[in-house]
Amino acid sequence: MKIYQNYVGGKWAASSSGKTFEDRNPARWEEIIGTFPRSTPQDVDRAVSAAKEAFESWRLVPAPRRGDIVRKAGDIMSARKEDIAREMTREMGKVVEEARGDVQEGIDTAYYAASEGRRLFGVIAPSELSNKFNMAVRVPVGICGLITPWNFPMAIPTWKIFPALVSGNTVIFKPAEDTPATATTLVEILIEAGVPEGVLNLVHGFGIEAGAALVEHAGVDLISFTGSTEVGRKIAEVCGRTGKRVALEMGGKNAQIVMEDADLELALEGILWGAFGTTGQRCTATSRLIVHEGVYNKFISMVVEKSKTLRIGDGLDENSDVGPLINEQQLQTVQKYVEIGRQEGAKVLLGGVRDDSGECRKGYFFKPTILSDVIPGMRVEKEEIFGPVLAIIKVRSLDEAIQVANDTQYGLSSSIYTKDINKAFQAIRDLRAGITYVNAPTIGAEAHMPFGGVKGTGNGHREGGWTVFDIFTEWKAVYVDYSGKLQRAQIDL
């Protein structure tokens, strides 16, 4: 068992509290991966001080140079991809093939963000006065507090850390307490790549202690958070009160629509991957399947039969298709929602119970679950479950399918399977979501494209692609008057 530490001001250190917490393998709960500092507001305060001191020199490093460091981090991640992926699977549970994809997304983000160091373009505009030059340039925001979830412990931190650093900000990184080892690996890689002391600081711990202290701290200029809608709204309240910039990526209740003219075999592949990939523990997971009545019975039968072939087991086993849930609390949550579905009148066509057979009894495994006869308005149809539970709804038309898809508080991802281009474009226009896929599942975002949602999913910002730099930079207008005399805008015209 390894003893891990925080990284603050260029030094590894224990928490001021002296307390620690354990990080365990969700597939084999008796296996302890390591112990980590249970950080306090005092630890956060030291990290903010270090970040503030480092900011004054880091912001002056040319953006292409900052990008070169992030690019080198991508090279290191690429060389160590397999080791990182296997460590991630031990810590988080996802099957190792998916963990490799998680690492690859971090690598892709590194190379993309690095290239943006040469494209932090400003704007030049004509002046309304003679002999005057107008432009707008991007400048860093300052001290950024980044709070990340456990389900993508490499990819999501890179979405935030890499563009924040390239933009010239300094960072306090508070990862989820369920995946602190992968977070530590990422920080070690960035140190090796050449990030100066104090520019990147790592503070482990729990949300109610370290996370809350980071959000409340007067020295933090920006909070970027990915997690539940409930917690995100509380963070937004604090940031509104304290005047911080805040970027939120929260929950989802994503729907895949299957029309009567769809390629059903293709839609079947999509629903299995979207609903049960990462054991349903994605904000973009396909948790609702909306099927046209013309193919409803046939397609449900196909989904049930194919789902029976999914192999549940330790993610390090290359034969496993579905790994464990992250912890006991999440297992209880999933079990609770299946029971709620039963009480509401849904039928459990498959699964619905914990898998405690063989080696699975050592971890938090839950069988892929399919609920039919789900009616719009049921809790299992409207609330995020974050597990391998698929709710199926029958509809009579595309208009009804879109109405059902939109009728939740969330708006992250959406999908439609159809061979009719007119139906596809209507769905693209009318689905209220930040992402829409045509003839693909609700998962599969790419690093160079905007990522985020509407309604209860976020507050308007987009991670990924060029849009993430709107989070981590401020616009500064600059006027250069070379007329040699006072010119009064809007007056001397």
- Residue 19: name the closest of 205, 217, 212 by CA: 205
What single letter denotes the amino acid at residue 368? Answer: P
State residue 145 phi and psi, 5-degree precision.
-100, 120
Residues 6+ apart with CB under 8 A from 49: 9, 219
Instruction: Give the per-residue pLDDT at 296.
Output: 98
Facing residues of 191 across strands?
A: none
Instruction: Give the per-residue pLDDT at 342.
Output: 97
- pLDDT tens sequence for the chain (493 residues): 899 999 999 999 999 999 999 999 999 999 999 999 999 999 999 999 999 999 999 999 999 999 999 999 999 999 999 999 999 999 999 999 999 999 999 999 999 999 999 999 999 999 999 999 999 999 999 999 999 999 999 999 999 999 999 999 999 999 999 999 999 999 999 999 999 999 999 999 999 999 999 999 999 999 999 999 999 999 999 999 999 999 999 999 999 999 999 999 999 999 999 999 999 999 999 999 999 999 999 999 999 999 999 999 999 999 999 999 999 999 999 999 999 999 999 999 999 999 999 999 999 999 999 999 999 999 999 999 999 999 999 999 999 999 999 999 999 999 999 999 999 999 999 999 999 999 999 999 999 999 999 999 999 999 999 999 999 999 999 999 999 999 999 998 7
Looking at the chain, how many residues does it have? Answer: 493
Q: What is the spatial distance between Cα 368 and Cα 321, in angstroms, rounded to a whole number?
A: 11
The conformation of residue 352, written as its DSSP 8-state character, comes to -
Instruction: Give the per-residue pLDDT at 354.
Output: 97
The total of other beta-carbon atoms located within 10 Å of residue 114's CB is: 23
Using DSSP, state whether 477 is helix, strand or coil.
strand
Using DSSP, state whether 487 is helix, strand or coil.
coil
Active site residues: 249, 283
The conformation of residue 147, written as its DSSP 8-state character, comes to E
Dig out the tokens for 439 from the structure: 């003839």
Instruction: Give the per-residue pLDDT at 492.
Output: 83
The third-level CATH classification (topology) of the domain covering 2-250+458-477 is Aldehyde Dehydrogenase; Chain A, domain 1 (3.40.605)
Instruction: Give the per-residue pLDDT at 11.
Output: 98
CATH for 254-438 (1.50.10.10, 1.10.8.80, 3.40.50.720, 3.40.309.10): 3.40.309.10
- The DSSP code sequence of 277-304 is GGGG-STT-EEEEEEETTTHHHHHHHHH
Facing residues of 480 across strands?
A: 133
Dig out the tokens for 477 from the structure: 């207008």
Q: What is the spatial distance between Cα 371 and Cα 131, in angstroms, rounded to a whole number?
A: 70
Beta-strand (E) ranges in 250-368?
A: 254-258, 286-292, 347-350
Residue ranges per structural domain of the chain: 2-250+458-477, 254-438
Q: What is the spatial distance between Cα 332 and Cα 355, in angstroms, rounded to a whole number?
A: 13
Residues 6+ apart with CB under 8 A from 62: none
Let me know: does 36 contact 15? Beta carbons within 8 Å: no
Q: What is the spatial distance between Cα 51 and Cα 49, in angstroms, rounded to a whole number?
A: 5
What single letter denotes the amino acid at residue 202? Answer: L
Dig out the tokens for 275 from the structure: 């609903």
